[in-house]
Amino acid sequence: MAIILVSLLGYTAITISNYGWNLLPIFFGDMRAMTWPGQFNFDFMGFLLLSGLWVSWRHRFSATGLILGAVAVFGGMMFLSLYLFIASTQAKGDVNELLLGKSRLCD
């Protein structure tokens, strides 16, 4: 997770220095154009939404869970790599706890 996070931060920094922060018009413009980059963006957007939904569900759609879910959607792998690192450390190797969250283990 650390390697992914650091690599992605570096790649993002270079991209921002070359193209600025103007991601959304490019992201949605590629989808509107119905090109392969647009298809990839549409597919990736599905992963982002699923990630946000899972994080929110894992926190039982609480206020904190909804905020973390929104951050997952907009933060992508930079958020999820850090989130999974922290959650896996807290779960101490318990995959059920990692996937379901501590509060769902007793259900």
Query: pLDDT digits over 24-63, tens only?
Result: 999 999 999 999 999 999 999 999 999 999 999 999 999 9
- The structural domains of the chain, with segments of one domain joined by +, span 2-104
pTM: 0.86
Half-sphere exposure of 86 (CA within 13 A, CB side): 8
* Distant-in-sequence, close-in-space partners of 5: CB < 8 Å, separation ≥ 6: 77, 78, 81, 82, 85
Identity (one letter) of the amino acid at 49?
L
How much is the pLDDT for 102? 84
Interval 68-99: pLDDT, tens? 999 999 999 999 999 999 999 999 989 999 99
Contact 83, 72 (CB under 8 A): yes
CA–CA distance, 5 with 103 (Å, rounded to integer)? 27
